[in-house]
Structure 1
Amino acid sequence: MATGIVIAQTTVDGERRAGELARGAVEGRLAACAHVDGPLTAVYRWQGSVETATEWRVSFKTTRDRLPALGAWIEREHSYEVPEWIVVAVEGGSDAYLAWVAEESSPA
């Protein structure tokens, strides 16, 4: 059962910045809500070296229709050269919750 709702995720290097991205996306109606998780330990390869960093993950709940605008906003607002941007389709859930996400992600 396709819903048109997605969860889009990014990571940042500070809790304050994660909160700013979460709040900005919700205030701009790009997402109905956002969750900030962390701190997380990230281990990754970057420019030929294996790096370890502390990051916070921001998970945005939005609609597939709003995803391009949210992605463009994150690209402008994010401080990383290559920010994580992963989108997962929501295949089901509470009808009331999914309707709320759709309503709150719609432009005013």
Structure 2
Amino acid sequence: MNSFPSDECVIVVCNAPDAETAGRIAEALVGERLAACVNILAPCRSVYLWQGAVERSEEVPLLIKTRRDAYPRLEARLQALHPYEVPEIVAWPLVMGLPSYLTWVSDSVVSSGEAG
């Protein structure tokens, strides 16, 4: 691990269609050690353009904490678990954070080259 654990960590944002789906996704990602933690937030209203029409729906946001090197596997698994044809899956790098928290995130996630 380098001296700046934030360099290794990212937050992935994904909206689920309902609380049941959000819970199923969160349990799978943490259980498979692709994420250290998934926050399931309160439902929100989304307005978006889909196939030429303005759509409105209620969705449940997920904040997924993981490592940068685990992101490709997390993205593939999230896409497989998600019911949407094109789910929102975006990652933001963590610039700063409590070092002990970021170390915990890093230590909790297993990348493809590590034993679980």
TM normalised by structure 2 equals 0.89
Rounded to whole Å, the distance in 1 between the matches of 2:26 and 2:16 is 11
What 5-or-longer segments of structure 1 have no aligned partner? Answer: none
Of Structure 1 and Structure 2, the greater strand share is in: 1
Rounded to whole Å, the distance in 2 between the matches of 1:78 and 1:71 is 10
- Whether the aligned pair in 2 keeps the contact of 1:3 and 1:98 (CA below 8 Å) is no
Rounded to whole Å, the distance in 1 between the matches of 2:108 and 2:8 is 14
Corresponding pairs, count:
108
- How many Å apart are 1:9 and its aligned residue? 1.1
TM superposition outliers: structure 1 runs of 4+ over 6 Å: none
Letter in 1 for 2:79: E
The 5-angstrom pairing of residues 1-108 of structure 1 reads 2-106=6-110, 107-108=115-116
Aligned-pair identity in percent equals: 35
What 5-or-longer segments of structure 2 have no aligned partner? Answer: none
- How many Å apart are 1:5 and its aligned residue? 0.3
Task: Say what the alpha-carbon RMSD is for the aligned residues.
Answer: 1.1
- How many Å apart are 1:3 and its aligned residue? 2.0
TM normalised by structure 1 equals 0.95
